[in-house]
Structure 1
């Protein structure tokens, strides 16, 4: 009799324990809201929501790095270039992007070019998550309007323009950095 009670108790405990191991109802309604990169909010499940949250955090970090880089780039342009990388440039750039910006900053200094007046306005930043270069993990497309800025050097002053570029971000030991750029994405009249 003791064996029968033990077997019944074991069966009951096993049934209770296994009842929590069932798959979620495939017909259950999603309980989260996700907003795709290029879309409107839509219902989604937790796993998809968690992926979107992770992507949002990555792009928020990439945006902070990009804005910090742009502010430093503007400062260097207004100062007349640089012959060495500033701490902010080293903090925000790596690889090809670092080499490209160092070359540009040295050319600005050699040509005695200065950005005067006006402002460099970031018209927009758009995620381009499916575009990857090398080991990049995030991509921003930006439109920077410098039409109110005047560039002065040994030649007659000239007005600024609107620039389109893509910045590709890679993870480094020091954190997320811009690893490469794509410039000259087309000519536009405005950043709107």
Structure 2
């Protein structure tokens, strides 16, 4: 009878497990990897939209990566940016860390991640005048499968001084 080595969802020391437990672990690992890929794709689109000064409607990438309350809130922010003449320039958003939030669910989410993103190299302009730097943020992100696509459906976040 073959033996399998599993790792707890939240990380930690390996332990002996059954094939069923191993298969469940592999499936969960794939789900977390998919969630991270979805989030990184959203983050790139979010910065692209910020560089163009917001948008009035959801782009195809937003519709492919976000849904529910998260999409609604993002669109409200993009519309407000457009109305106020805000745009991002230069720099980049650097994902400093992403970690699994094992056992955390909100709004029927399947998995959750905590991401810390440093956008302090980005500059923000209002009607062409410099108003400040981008923020460093820590967000708890919630993912749900809608149809066949995993999407960000919610987030709880805050500005932090650093990702350290």
**TM-score scaled by structure 1?**
0.79
In structure 1, list runs of 5 or more residues that go unmatched.
1-23, 25-29
State how far apart, in whole Å, the 2-side matches of 1:158 and 1:136 are.
34
Displaced runs of 4+ in structure 1, greater than 4 A? none
**Aligned pairs (5 A) from 1:19-168:** 31-36=3-8, 37-154=10-127, 156-168=130-142
More strand by share: 2
What are the superposed Cα offsets for residues 15-60 of structure 1, whole Å, 9 maximum, x if unpaired? xxxxxxxxx8xxxxx7111122231333322121111111011111
Match for residue 163 of structure 2?
A: 191
More helix by share: 1
Give the alignment's Cα RMSD to 1 decimal: 1.7
State how far apart, in whole Å, the 2-side matches of 1:92 and 1:54 are.
20
Number of paired residues? Answer: 162
In structure 2, list runs of 5 or more residues that go unmatched.
none
Match for residue 155 of structure 2?
A: 181
**TM-score scaled by structure 2?**
0.91
What are the superposed Cα offsets for residues 101-144 of structure 1, whole Å, 9 maximum, x if unpaired? 11011111111111111110011111112111111101111000
SS of the equivalent of 1:80 reads coil
